[in-house]
Structure 1
Amino acid sequence: MSKVSRYAWRDQQAVLNERMKGFLQNPGNEQLEAVLAEMRAYADAARSGAIEIPQQFTTYN
């Protein structure tokens, strides 16, 4: 996985996580629709090859 691909995946993941946090803090239809739209965008990007999802991911906190 190239560095550019990894950054694209990381950015997409960060946006999805922020949407989910927003929904958990303030559950409602508008926030739910935003999360679902972001999940669809993530799935579409993965399907089309716009982002590459790593087979293995290690995080260091």
Structure 2
Amino acid sequence: MSVVKVIEIMAESTKSWEDATDTAVEKASKSVDNISSAWVQDQSVKVENGKVTAYRVTLKISFGIK
């Protein structure tokens, strides 16, 4: 039987939601082993002076534990 843990993380990018997601998974994988999936729970943008300046994502990261 396998056991999976889920953590929630947030990330931001000035390029796109996809870049924010990639960045989040890459950074999480530096301290979390066995990442098996990432679910984008929420997307939002930062707006300054009427223009989008950053893309933000909230992810659920799943990984196996021993």
Question: Scaled by the length of structure 1, what TM-score is found?
Answer: 0.33
Structure holding more helix per residue: 1
Larger gyration radius, structure 1 or structure 2: 2
The TM-score with structure 2 as length reference comes to 0.31
- Structure 1 or 2: larger strand share? 2
